[in-house]
Amino acid sequence: MLIRRETPADVDAIRAVHAAAFAKTGDGNDSGDGDGDGDGDGLPVEATLVDALRADDGWLPTYSLVAVDSDGQVVGHVVATRGLVGGEPVALGLGPLGVLPDWQRRGVGSALMHAVLGAADARDEPLVVLLGHPDYYPRFGFGPAVDLGVTPPQPWGPQYFMARPMAAWRDSIRGEFRYARPFDDL
């Protein structure tokens, strides 16, 4: 497996990864980390969210990474976009992160997470935030964002709103977090 930046040729494969990763299963449970709610066309919102993020001012191509297998097939994707804390562009909003079902539980998601966090740290991003499960993301250094003085946007609860301060973190970074605009439409 190789982790690399997204290219224009990857767009359809990325959409397919998120569609498969967040598709509803027959038992009513999601197979991915998201809520699996559709966009009206049968696609999970995560599958179309990345397209909307690409068209937004918050899009940062450096943080759109794919995992590819030995044949070059895209098997996973993660993206981080510009976020604001207290109105200042001092954070990244991470997500969605998706992995094809046949590749889940094989370290692809962890590799993508380490790669995007490494890229953020190397580019002196002070903070990365995400909405996720509090039992899973602490392994990557995430904790409650409110402990850092960063509050979640509504309607998300603070128990799932997590943040990881990076090497460039400053205690003065405080206030309400705002994701890139397409997140407002979820």
pLDDT digits (tens, 9 = 90+) for 47-74: 999 999 999 999 999 999 999 999 999 9
pLDDT digits (tens, 9 = 90+) for 150-178: 999 877 778 899 999 999 999 999 999 99
Average pLDDT over residues 20-35: 55
Helices (H) and strands (E) in the chain, counts: 3, 9
pLDDT digits (tens, 9 = 90+) for 101-139: 999 999 999 999 999 999 999 999 999 999 998 999 999
Confidence of residue 26 (pLDDT cuts 50, 70, 90): very low
Buried b (16+ CB within 10 A) or exposed e, 119-133: bbeeeebbbbbbbbe
CA distance 118 to 172: 23
Name which residue leads in pLDDT, 34 or 73: 73
CA angle 50, 9, 62 (to 5 degrees): 55
Q: Which two tokens stand for residue 40?
A: 């009206």
CA distance 46 to 29: 16
Is the pLDDT at 5 greater than 70? The verdict is: yes
Full-model pTM: 0.89
Q: At what angle do helices 45-54 and 11-21 cross, to 10 degrees?
A: 150
